[in-house]
Structure 1
């Protein structure tokens, strides 16, 4: 699993679940984190009193080769420091970087706790490999994750062995 440490919390930390199958340096995986961030949505609402910015409708957020798709993306920030406390992607969430894809109905980054929680039929894919459960939690600074299930369902993982070259 990768750790995703970056100045721009929205994109880099939301992508943390995508790296659950491989260990690499975060700087190598994300490229230049100073690249511009391009967010497109049907609507933007900023609420300073509520300390929230919402992108609504067909949200696409892109930085370099990393793309996040969702129906809504909310950024909750501290009024004092203006730092992002929580990022929530809602509705048909898909996070793509190369052959790594994470999907679910909701992805929530808890910045203070440095963890990302993916719910709503979450699945992680890298190439043909996949893992799914009811909730996937990635601990961003600990290089670990948990996949859990509830109510009689079970965690499922499929790993394809690599072919050895002669």
Structure 2
């Protein structure tokens, strides 16, 4: 079950989680082990899902995803391929000193899109970008922020 999660985390760790700025300026180390910590795990073979709940932290290298719960939805045919990841509640995605926070995060593996929703805050150093929703396309490195977007850029920053 960890191998598909490793693949999904690698894709999550791709750059471009902000407008024209690399998230953390990091490269994904796909050879690094993936560690998942949670208070509980429930696996449902019937619907092809696994739900991690309670203080969920998923890490690989310098990348961390934390949330109250993370649901892993497997593609038809079993646990060899992940179809989607759905993080709910107090979602934080960090890399080094950079962090994105939201209420939810949905990652669709097939489209390569991550949708962060609900009071989205992206902090990169002292620069801050906020909005209601941010959609990141990992395939082409574009991002779109909707819903009363606000940006605070510090002089001399990156």
TM range (shorter): 0.7 to 0.9
Going from structure 1 to structure 2, the CA distance change for 1:19 and 1:136 (only over 3 Å counts) comes to: closer
Deviates more, 1:54-63 or 1:31-40: 31-40
Gaps of 5+ in 1: 1-6
Distance 1:106 1:130 in 2: 19
| Aligned position for 2:114 | 116
| Aligned position for 1:41 | 38
Which structure is higher in strand share?
A: 2
**Any idea what the Cα deviations from partners look like across 1:66-119, whole Å, max 9, x if unmatched?**
111100001101132631111011100011111110000101101111110000
Q: Within 5 A, what are the aligned runs for 1:75-154? A: 75-80=72-77, 82-149=80-147, 154=148
Question: What TM-score comes out, normalization by structure 1 length?
Answer: 0.82
Offset, 1:29: 1.8
Kept after mapping to 1: 8 A contact 2:15/2:141: no
Going from structure 1 to structure 2, the CA distance change for 1:109 and 1:9 (only over 3 Å counts) comes to: farther
Larger radius of gyration: 1
Going from structure 1 to structure 2, the CA distance change for 1:108 and 1:10 (only over 3 Å counts) comes to: same
Question: What TM-score comes out, normalization by structure 2 length?
Answer: 0.86
* Runs of 4+ residues over 6 Å off in structure 1: none
| Aligned position for 1:161 | 155
Going from structure 1 to structure 2, the CA distance change for 1:106 and 1:71 (only over 3 Å counts) comes to: same
